[in-house]
Amino acid sequence: MSVREDAISPHGGGELVDLKAPASERTALAAYAAKLASVTLNARDLADLEMLATGAFSPLTGFMGEPDYTRSRDDMRLASGVPWSIPITLGVDEATAKSLKTGTEIALATEDGKRLAILKLAETYKVDRKNEAQNVFGTAEDAHPGAKNVTAMPPYCLAGKVTLIEEIPGRTFLEYPREPRQTREAFRERGWKKIVAFQTRNPTHRAHEYIQKAALEICDGLMIHPLVGETKGDDVPAAVRMETYKVLLDAYYPKDRAMIGVFPAHMRYGGPREAILHAIARRNYGCTHFIVGRDHAGVGSYYGSYDAQRIFERFAPAELGITPLMFENTFYCKRCNSMASYKTCPHSDADRVILSGTKVREMLRAGEAPPPEFTRPELAAILVKAMRDAK
């Protein structure tokens, strides 16, 4: 069954991009790549390469050229006008950029020299990384982890189509669908037509569970889609988070209506702009709906609580093609005796169980489980143990 028969078409209105070389050609391509000049990729470059190669970043077929870069940075669109909120570039230093000739092919390699892909060099251009950070994140401060990553990138960019000739090293959680073609197949097998995705980089607490199940009331299926690429050092490790998601789904979700997928992107902490990129990618994974909660993909106090919801108003619904489901901040209310939100609960904060991430981490480090109104006991036990083992 083709992607055209799926519940939703890939972003940009075309076919799902596939930049992976056929298995039958990989040996010859590896021998060819060994003779090429090479560029070394860091962990974030590798994550972008995987997202490009598998079609998760459709309609992109490689690292951005200058027209796409500039319009994405300034207008949240590609040069064609298709929505795209964050530039995807391959940065190199000046010496490397000037040593490479446009029109030639170069190898993309890991830090230990393994050649993973071939890039047909279409263009080399120079950018202002501080300007990029300011436009994308609203700040160029090093205190913002996404901005710091961008300003640390070399200023020259290599653009062109890529062909993946080896598997990306270090891929994890392969027992779960990781690529758009895999999730689309899983949805077809289940007969789901309306699929809602939930982006997460944190263990699921009761508020998350509440909005996931509210969304599931109007959809056929839910995909918990944790980001497993690079995150901040104080975020809960992916392996611990994945264990909590599995326990939660096994105990509290209908088995035929919820599943876990894996999102191998790195976290940019781009707030509103990253919410748009997350939605676009989930459309490519085959989802028709996408949950956008309070301070989606935010960090610190850089973004307003609902900026990531309001940014969707800047696009016509048909342009993004995936329906955002907006949720208020949710909590357990002792007087309501249930989960609720500011939209549904008339009581005061004194009646509500609202814990900050900092407070939860403090409790876990002390070996104290958060209250069951905040976190399911089974999940709290996993987190307490992980914190204890990490000491």
Q: Among all residues, which ones are annotated catalytic?
A: 201-202
DSSP string, 352-376: EE---HHHHHHHHHTTPPPPTTTS-
DSSP string, 3-69: GGGSSSPPTTSSPPP--BPPGGGHHHHHHHHTTS-EEE--HHHHHHHHHHHTTTTTT--EEPPHHHH
CA 258 to chain CA centroid, Å, is 19
Amino acid at the residue 342: Y
Nearest in space to 215 (alpha carbons), one of 162, 113, 288, 131: 288
d(CA 379, CA 85): 34
d(CA 84, CA 63): 13
Locus of tokens 């000037």: 98
| Cis amide linkage into residue 59, ω under 30° from 0 | yes
Amino acid at the residue 377: P
